[in-house]
Each structure stands twice: as structure tokens, then as C-alpha cells.
């Protein structure tokens, strides 16, 4: 019993640190936030903090893991819903992820720039590797179902699931470039819609799906993140379509 209590206390304190970090991200931004800010907020010692996280980078990774945990709770039931076809599952998968990320918009915007700094390259790769391990099994189940239903024609459902996730990651990076440097990257809504359509077309070709049957991001969601005639930051496509990428400078 004492051991269980100790584990529970550890989890509670770790979550308190993450909660405080999220509050500070909303008010100060991740780049401006310091570990001392967290210590002051929770009235804990530096030694206590380092018992749970060995660096600010580790804290950022934990925040991303938390986002993925929350996303999994939304997306797993879709993959397991026996009443949906494979096409319906993929469409709902992307749509639900996009709506969930939109609900987290302020938080994700606060992290956007830091995520794409060189200092976070290793963290980005590690988080993406985690996403591959956790998301591709769900996609494989859906793709296998699509092959059985005759709507997908790929002979490599397990391998293609990772290719699909890689495509989503690439679209996320493309959105991020457009949002961080809209003038240089063609971040107007029309260009963004064409880019999204191109990636959706590529997804259909990879899966052997009927033309026009899949949409990675719908127009309404794009307009939410890329308001016409406004230059604003937004989440990466991974954020819009179900992966994990977030950032800030």
C-alpha cells in the first residue's frame, strides 16, 4: 500500500508541474518561461523539480506526450468503431483531430515557434518517433479494413500506415513554414488550400482510394487557422491532422 501511495503521489506532483507549465505557457509563452517561474508558481525547490524533469526540454517533451495522450483518447474509439467504414474512419480521424487541435489553439500557438527552433530538432524527432509507435497501429487497422472493403488497394497496409503519418508530418511542416514566414512561403488562404488538396490527392494515391474521397484538412478548419487577409501563427499540419507537432520561438 505505501508503495502504491508513493507512485500516486509522484503522478500527482508531476501533473501539477505540467499544469503549472501549461498555465505559464498561456500567460508568458514557453520561450519566455523559466524553470524558476514554475518553482515560484508551485512553491517547490529546484531539487524537487529535477526529481521529475531533468531539463526544460524534457518538460516540453512531456507536454507533447500529454497532448498525444489526450488525442489518443479521442482517436482510438474511431479506429475501433465497428459501425464505420474505413473511409469514414479516416475522414473522422482527421476531422476529430483537427477539431480537437482547434480547441487547443491558444496553447499550441504559444508553443509553435520554439518547436521549430534548431534547439528542438532532437526533441521533434523523438516525439515523432513516439507518434509513429502509437499512431501507425491505429492507421494499420483502418487501412486493412479498407483493403478488405475494396476501397484501398495497397498490398502493404502496415508499411503504408507509416508513410501516411510521414505525409501528415510533412504537411504540418509545410503549414508551419507558411505561418512563420507567410510572405516567403505563400501563406495566403488560396495557396494553403491548394497545398492541402495536393497532399490529400497524394494520400488517396498512396492508399489507392477513390479520387476526392479523403480530405486531410477541410476548408473551414483552414480558415480557422489561416484567416483571410491576416498573417497569424498556427499549429503545424500534424497538429491539424492528428500528429503531435507544436512550436514557438
| pLDDT level of residue 75 (50, 70, 90 thresholds) | confident
Same domain, 30 and 85: no
Chain segment 6-58, per-residue pLDDT in tens: 888 899 999 999 999 888 887 777 778 899 999 999 999 999 999 999 999 89
Pick 241 or 12 by higher pLDDT.
12
3 — pLDDT class (breaks 50, 70, 90): low
Whether residues 129 and 90 fall in one domain: yes
Residue 229 confidence (pLDDT) above 90: no
Is residue 191 within 8 Å of residue 234, measured between CB atoms? no
Question: Is 107 a domain residue?
Answer: yes
- The CATH code of the domain that includes 183 is 1.10.357
Tell me, yes or no, whether 89 and 146 share the same domain.
yes
Q: So what's the pLDDT on residue 177?
A: 82
Residues 49, 136, single domain; the answer is no
DSSP code, position 209: P
| Structure-block grid coordinates of residue 185 | 512561403
pTM score over 0.85 = no
- Is residue 92, in this structure, part of any structural domain at all? yes
The total domain count for the chain is 2
Res 205: pLDDT: 96
Q: CB-based burial of residue 216 (10 Å sphere; 0-12 exposed, 13-18 middle, 19+ buried)?
A: buried
CB 211 within 8 A of CB 197: no
In a domain, 247, yes or no: no
Distance, CA of 55 to CA of 66 (rounded, Å): 17
Residue 175 lies in a domain: yes
Which range marks the domain in which residue 123 is found?
55-241
Angstrom distance (rounded) from CA 53 to CA 20:
13
pLDDT, position 85: 98
Q: How confident is the model at residue 186 (pLDDT cuts 50, 70, 90)?
A: low
75 and 29 share a domain? no
In a domain, 246, yes or no: no
Phi, psi of 30 (to 5 degrees): -65, -40
Q: Do 27 and 88 fall into the same domain?
A: no
Please give the average per-residue pLDDT across 79-100, as a whole number: 91
Name the nearest CA neighbour of 139 among 119, 156, 117: 156
Amino acid at each position: 500500500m505505501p508503495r502504491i501511495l508513493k507512485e500516486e503521489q509522484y503522478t500527482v506532483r508531476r501533473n501539477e508541474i505540467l499544469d503549472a507549465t501549461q498555465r505559464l505557457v498561456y500567460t508568458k509563452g514557453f520561450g519566455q518561461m523559466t524553470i524558476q517561474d514554475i518553482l515560484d508558481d508551485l512553491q517547490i525547490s529546484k531539487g524537487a523539480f529535477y526529481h521529475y524533469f531533468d531539463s526544460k526540454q524534457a518538460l516540453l517533451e512531456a507536454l507533447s506526450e500529454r497532448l498525444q495522450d489526450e488525442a489518443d483518447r479521442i482517436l482510438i474509439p474511431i479506429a475501433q468503431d465497428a459501425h464505420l467504414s474505413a473511409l469514414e474512419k479516416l475522414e473522422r480521424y482527421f476531422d476529430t483531430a483537427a477539431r480537437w487541435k482547434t480547441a487547443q489553439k491558444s496553447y499550441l500557438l504559444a508553443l509553435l515557434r520554439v518547436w521549430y527552433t534548431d534547439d528542438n530538432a532532437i526533441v521533434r524527432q523523438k516525439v515523432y518517433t513516439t507518434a509513429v509507435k502509437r499512431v501507425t497501429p491505429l492507421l494499420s487497422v483502418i487501412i486493412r479494413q479498407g483493403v478488405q472493403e475494396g476501397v484501398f488497394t495497397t498490398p502493404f497496409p502496415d508499411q503504408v500506415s507509416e508513410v501516411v503519418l510521414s505525409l501528415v508530418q510533412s504537411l504540418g511542416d509545410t503549414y508551419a513554414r507558411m505561418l512563420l514566414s507567410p510572405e516567403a512561403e505563400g501563406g495566403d488562404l488560396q495557396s494553403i488550400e491548394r497545398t492541402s488538396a495536393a497532399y490529400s490527392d497524394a494520400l488517396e494515391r498512396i492508399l489507392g482510394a477513390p479520387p476526392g474521397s479523403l480530405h486531410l484538412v477541410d476548408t473551414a478548419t483552414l480558415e480557422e487557422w489561416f484567416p483571410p487577409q491576416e498573417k497569424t501563427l498556427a499549429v503545424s499540419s500534424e497538429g491539424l491532422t492528428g500528429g503531435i507537432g507544436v512550436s514557438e520561438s
